[in-house]
């Protein structure tokens, strides 16, 4: 039975049952030789390759995903020049890593079945569906791509 806004055709993950798909959910991530408290930490850390020490260390060690996000936003002028061109494939790699490292995340992702996955964020119309529910929902799109990859890998193992 669908929960909250979920329907037979859509799954929403900003909170509630599928919150595990959120970058703010508390799943540690081994990524690029470091361990991050959340996938949000890893994503924000990736914005600043030229700031190899103080800022990256602060982001990686931020007490919460919200703090990592805030640190990155406060230092937006220092982010890599090609960020907008690369952020989607970077995010996909981080999400894939999260799914591969956490059986529970993988299971919840597969539980979405064939439904559209939507980040129910009213703030963000790029990663979520935004205030008018007509955004790109890129995070949901990436999760659906990873879900398909997992299904195809399972078929190969059979």
CATH code, 140 = 1.10.357.40
Number of domains into which the chain is organized: 2
Strand pairing category for 29-31 and 34-36: antiparallel
What SS3 string covers 118-144? ECCCCCCCCCCCCCCCCCCCHHHHHHH
What pLDDT score does 2 carry?
A: 47
**In the chain, what percentage of residues exceed pLDDT 70?**
94
Residue 34 lies in a domain: yes
Question: Given the structure tokens 């996909």, which residue do they identify?
Answer: 92
> How many C-beta atoms surround the C-beta of residue 26 within 10 A?
11
Q: 45 and 58 share a domain?
A: yes
Average pLDDT value over all residues in the chain: 92
In this predicted model, what pLDDT tens digit does every residue of 97-146 receive, in sequence order?
999 999 999 999 999 999 999 998 888 999 999 888 899 999 999 999 99
State the residue range of the domain holding 74. 29-81
Residue 56 lies in a domain: yes
Report the C-alpha gap between 88 and 62 in whole angstroms.
23
Residue 97 lies in a domain: no
Residue 155 lies in a domain: yes
Q: 139 and 128 share a domain?
A: yes
Residue 96 lies in a domain: no
């Amino acid at each position: 039975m669908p929960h909250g806004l979920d329907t037979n055709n859509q799954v929403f993950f900003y909170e509630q049952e599928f919150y595990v798909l959120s970058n703010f959910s508390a799943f540690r991530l081994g990524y690029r030789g470091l361990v991050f408290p959340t996938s949000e930490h890893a994503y924000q850390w990736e914005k600043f390759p030229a700031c190899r020490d103080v800022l990256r260390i602060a982001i990686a060690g931020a007490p919460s995903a919200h703090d990592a996000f805030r640190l990155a936003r406060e230092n937006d002028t220092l982010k890599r020049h090609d960020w907008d061109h690369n952020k989607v494939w970077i995010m996909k790699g981080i999400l894939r890593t999260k799914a591969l490292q956490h059986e529970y995340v993988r299971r919840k992702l597969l539980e979405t079945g064939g439904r559209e996955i939507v980040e129910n964020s009213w703030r963000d119309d790029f990663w979520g569906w935004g205030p008018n529910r007509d955004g790109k929902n890129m995070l949901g799109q990436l999760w659906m791509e990873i879900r398909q990859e997992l299904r195809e890998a399972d078929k190969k193992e059979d």
